[in-house]
């Protein structure tokens, strides 16, 4: 990518033309792609630096300097053992595996019949109406560059539908794997999750790299629709490699009395952006967004979270924690919007950060936009270094500096880590965080005696 036009669209023009040329016959996404391409030109560019509130703390220049090819179908599929080595896995789960954005049927497994789970492209005639009704509608609350870009190149994706009143404790895992390649590639993972009335399910979404050094850009969009009374327990794992780029969009629409519980863990990419936007569009709906992000070295991770209350009696909680080491930079921009009429809304948001090194930097900006009366909203943020008095206290009990630092970091993370409930997922998160600890060293002049 040499120069960027105002919208950043031109860089993809040749790829888009090639995609159009290459498709024989109409497919599910044909019209959506064309429409997205038209709108992409007018959408605000994320690359603009001046007056760009939405990307204020994240300069995409390092990503713009890399020339990405659109990821095609992989020459050969990775070994299942290779995938299991880098991703959470449980044979008892229904797992849909996507390799470089393409559905890999042979690597996937459907462990139950309670839910409809498969690829969007192969969704049967009975699913057509649901898919057409909802696909790209949840993301469409605003015209955002990366969600539109995803749609421009969409050819497939994950599809999960929970029939009305269905309930399963068996997680559905949407696993997006990036493979190694000679040249940097971009893929566009996509998911559509439709939770029927009074349905209950666990959905895990994870992003991993098979290769530790491969440079790739995952531009993900996941849309969730929760019908009346639906309860979705959602987990999002971002654990791609340290050379990758990730722009992830989670878009949720909640109808009356539904509950969306989401726990996320993010680490890995050189530059990552985690957008979560929830529209509380039914009375009495509840939304809990919880997340842990860990960054080190030169990593940059930007969490852009919003919950918009459109209807009365809604509840939302945002609770995020960050652990920053090296000269990494993390961002938390959280906003709660309470629209006129959304009376009796309760909303809170909190972002707590632990900075381990003088070079680590956090920009945290929780905010409220309240346009209704009779609501209760709270927000807060903290950023602190490891407390020397606390370390001294621990050391005075015989616990050495290194062990004490690790206990403090684990302790800080525990509150979130404990919320990953599926056992195989909990083990994965524990393994990943433990393996990261040696790189999360606390640096201070007070480390000696």
Partner 1 sequence: MPLLEVRDLHARVLNTQTEILKGLSLTLNAGEVHALMGPNGSGKSTFANVLAGRPDYEITQGQVLLDGEDIGGLFPEQRAIRGLFLAFQYPAEIPGVRPWQFLKASLDAIATHRGQPKLSVREFSKVFDAAVEAVGINPELSKRSLNEGFSGGEKKRNEMLQMEVLQPRLCVMDETDSGLDIDALKTVAGVVNAMRDPKRAFLIVTHYQRILEHVTPDFVHILVGGRIVQSGGADLAREVEQTGYEDLVKSA
Q: Give contact residues for partner 1 (rule: CB under 8 A).
A: 387-390, 392-401, 403, 407-408, 410-415, 446-449
Closer CB to partner 1, 168 or 444, in the complex = 444
C-beta of 429: minimal distance to partner 1 in Å?
14
Closer CB to partner 1, 132 or 418, in the complex = 418
Tokens 């959470």 -> residue:
88
C-beta of 417: minimal distance to partner 1 in Å?
9
Closer CB to partner 1, 68 or 401, in the complex = 401
Closer CB to partner 1, 104 or 383, in the complex = 383
Closest CA to 437 of 320, 276, 310, 325: 325
Phi then psi for residue 174, to 5 deg, are: -105, 110
Closer CB to partner 1, 370 or 399, in the complex = 399
Scored b (16 or more CB within 10 A) or e, 123-158 reads beeebeebbeebbbebbeeeebbbbbbbbbbbbbbb
C-beta of 265: minimal distance to partner 1 in Å?
16
Closer CB to partner 1, 308 or 353, in the complex = 353
The encoded tokens of residue 159 equal 């599809």
Torsion sign over Cα 115, 119, 124, 127: positive
The encoded tokens of residue 240 equal 């791609």
C-beta of 415: minimal distance to partner 1 in Å?
6
C-alpha span between 58 and 270 (Å, rounded): 12
Looking at 302-446, list the stretches that DSSP marks H as alpha helix, in order from N- to C-terminal side: 388-395, 401-417, 423-436
Q: Is 446 helix (H, G, I), strand (E, B) or coil?
A: helix
Closest CA to 437 of 388, 403, 387: 403
Radius of gyration from C-alpha coordinates of the chain: 21
CB 276 within 8 A of CB 248: no
Tokens 């919007």 -> residue:
337
Closest CA to 314 of 269, 271, 353, 281: 281
C-beta of 378: minimal distance to partner 1 in Å?
19
Closer CB to partner 1, 81 or 445, in the complex = 445
C-alpha span between 408 and 414 (Å, rounded): 10
C-alpha span between 252 and 139 (Å, rounded): 8
Q: Is 311 helix (H, G, I), strand (E, B) or coil?
A: coil
C-beta of 295: minimal distance to partner 1 in Å?
19
Closer CB to partner 1, 129 or 449, in the complex = 449
C-beta of 408: minimal distance to partner 1 in Å?
7
Q: Which residues contact 94 (CB under 8 A, 6 or more apart)?
A: 109, 110, 111, 112, 115, 117, 170, 171, 172, 173
C-beta of 293: minimal distance to partner 1 in Å?
16
C-beta of 69: minimal distance to partner 1 in Å?
44
Closer CB to partner 1, 53 or 400, in the complex = 400
C-beta of 388: minimal distance to partner 1 in Å?
7
**Sheet order of strands, 315-324 included:** 102-103, 94-99, 172-178, 200-209, 231-239, 259-267, 286-295, 315-324, 346-355, 376-385
Q: Is 180 exposed, middle or buried (0-12, 13-18, 19+ CB in 10 A)?
A: middle
Closer CB to partner 1, 170 or 395, in the complex = 395
C-alpha span between 416 and 402 (Å, rounded): 22
C-beta of 323: minimal distance to partner 1 in Å?
12
Closer CB to partner 1, 257 or 364, in the complex = 364
What 8-state DSSP symbol labels residue 326?
T
Closer CB to partner 1, 26 or 398, in the complex = 398
C-beta of 290: minimal distance to partner 1 in Å?
15
What 8-state DSSP symbol labels residue 82?
H
């Amino acid at each position: 990518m040499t120069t960027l036009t105002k919208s950043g669209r031109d860089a993809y023009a040749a790829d888009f033309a090639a995609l159009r040329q290459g498709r024989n016959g109409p497919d599910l996404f044909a019209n959506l792609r064309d429409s997205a391409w038209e709108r992409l030109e007018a959408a605000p560019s994320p690359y603009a630096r001046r007056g760009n509130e939405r990307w204020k703390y994240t300069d995409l220049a390092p990503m713009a300097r890399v020339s990405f090819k659109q990821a095609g179908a992989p020459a050969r599929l990775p070994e299942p053992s290779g995938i299991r080595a880098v991703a959470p896995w449980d044979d008892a789960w229904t797992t849909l595996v996507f390799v470089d954005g393409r559905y890999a049927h042979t690597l996937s497994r459907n462990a139950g019949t309670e839910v409809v789970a498969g690829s969007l492209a192969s969704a049967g005639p009975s699913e057509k109406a649901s898919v057409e009704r909802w696909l790209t509608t949840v993301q469409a609350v605003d015209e955002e560059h990366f969600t539109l870009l995803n749609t421009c190149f969409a050819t497939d994706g994950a599809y999960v539908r929970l029939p009305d009143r269905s309930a399963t404790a068996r997680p559905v895992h949407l696993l997006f794997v990036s493979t190694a390649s000679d040249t940097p590639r971009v893929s566009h993972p996509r998911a559509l999750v439709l939770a029927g009335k009074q349905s209950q399910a666990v959905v895990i979404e994870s992003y991993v790299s098979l290769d530790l050094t491969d440079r790739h850009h995952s531009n993900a969009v996941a849309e969730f629709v929760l019908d009346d009374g639906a309860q979705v327990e959602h987990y999002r794992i971002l654990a791609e490699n340290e050379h990758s780029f990730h722009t992830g969009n989670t878009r949720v629409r909640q109808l009356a009395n539904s509950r969306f519980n989401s726990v996320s863990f993010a680490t890995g990419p050189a530059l990552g952006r985690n957008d979560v936007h929830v529209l509380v569009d039914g009375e009495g709906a509840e939304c809990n967004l919880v997340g842990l992000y860990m960054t080190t070295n030169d990593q940059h991770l930007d969490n852009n979270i919003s919950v918009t209350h459109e209807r009365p009696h809604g509840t939302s909680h945002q609770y995020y924690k960050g652990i920053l080491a090296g000269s990494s930079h993390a961002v938390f921009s959280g906003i709660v919007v309470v629209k006129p009429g959304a009376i009796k809304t309760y909303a809170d948001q909190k972002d707590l950060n632990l900075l381990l090194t003088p070079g680590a930097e956090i920009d945290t900006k929780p905010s409220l936009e309240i346009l209704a009366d009779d609501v209760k909203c709270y927000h807060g943020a903290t950023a602190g270094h490891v407390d020397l008095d606390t370390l001294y206290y621990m050391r005075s009990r015989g616990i050495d500096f290194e062990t004490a630092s690790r206990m403090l970091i684990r302790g800080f993370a525990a509150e979130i880590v404990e919320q990953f409930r599926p056992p195989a997922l909990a083990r994965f998160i524990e393994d990943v965080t433990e393996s990261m600890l040696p790189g999360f060293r606390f640096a201070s002049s007070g480390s000696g005696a």
